[in-house]
Amino acid sequence: MHTKYLLHGGNTSIKRKSNTRFFKEMVDVPGKDNVRLLLCLWAVEKKFWDVKKESYRKKITENSYKNVEVEVVEDVDDFNAKIDQFDVLYVVGGDAKLIEPYYQ
């Protein structure tokens, strides 16, 4: 299995070339036209998860020719149950204090 790590500095809402490349590269899984992406929003307030999911889904589909299914991971148990079923894990940044309960 091929593992690729992408590090992005944030500000993905700004329209610029580096963001276009980031969203395209994120789902560029060799040999796959249909890509499953697991979205981790633990550092974002839960009340914004649906809006964020739709925003990221839109950015990804606008910048890639792949068919991408996006699903949000709810918690650690959900992560452990789903991670092997997905091609890409995207951990979104935000507030470190919000993510702390998930790893303690």
Pairwise CA distance, residues 84 & 97, whole Å: 27
- Kindly report, residue by residue over 23-68, the tens digit of the pLDDT: 898 999 989 999 999 999 999 999 999 999 999 999 999 889 999 9
The answer on pLDDT for 1 being more than 60 is no
Q: What is the 3-state secondary structure (H, E, C) of 25-89?
A: HHCCCCCCCEEEEEEECCCCCHHHHHHHHHHHHHHHHHCCCCEEEEEECCCHHHHHHHHHHCCEE
pTM of the model: 0.88
